[in-house]
Amino acid sequence: METETKQIIKELKSIKSEIDYIKENMVSADMVLNKKEKSLLNKARDEYRKGKTISLADLEKKHTSKK
């Protein structure tokens, strides 16, 4: 019985070590884009390349000048 308990403890420590490794090396869900987000990003990049975007500074100037 004691030998079995020691073996179980050894295996649990090994599993814990593997889980710790996985936690340290897994990709955050916030870093992965879904299909819709990828599509929106590609659309934004395309609009930027075509000069259809405005900088935040210019947008703020435009907004404050209307007040």
Tally of domains in the chain: 1
Percent of the chain scored above 70 by pLDDT? 97
Distance CA 67, CA 58 (A): 15
| The residue to which tokens 């340290």 are assigned | 24
pTM assigned to the model = 0.50
Examine the pLDDT at 61 and tell me if it is beyond 70: yes
15 half-sphere exposure, CB direction, 13 A CA radius? 6
Handedness of CA 30, 36, 38, 42 (dihedral sign): negative
Distance CA 40, CA 48 (A): 12
33: containing domain: 2-65
pLDDT, tens digit (0-9, with 9 covering 90-100), for 6-59: 999 999 999 999 999 999 999 988 889 999 999 999 999 999 999 999 999 999
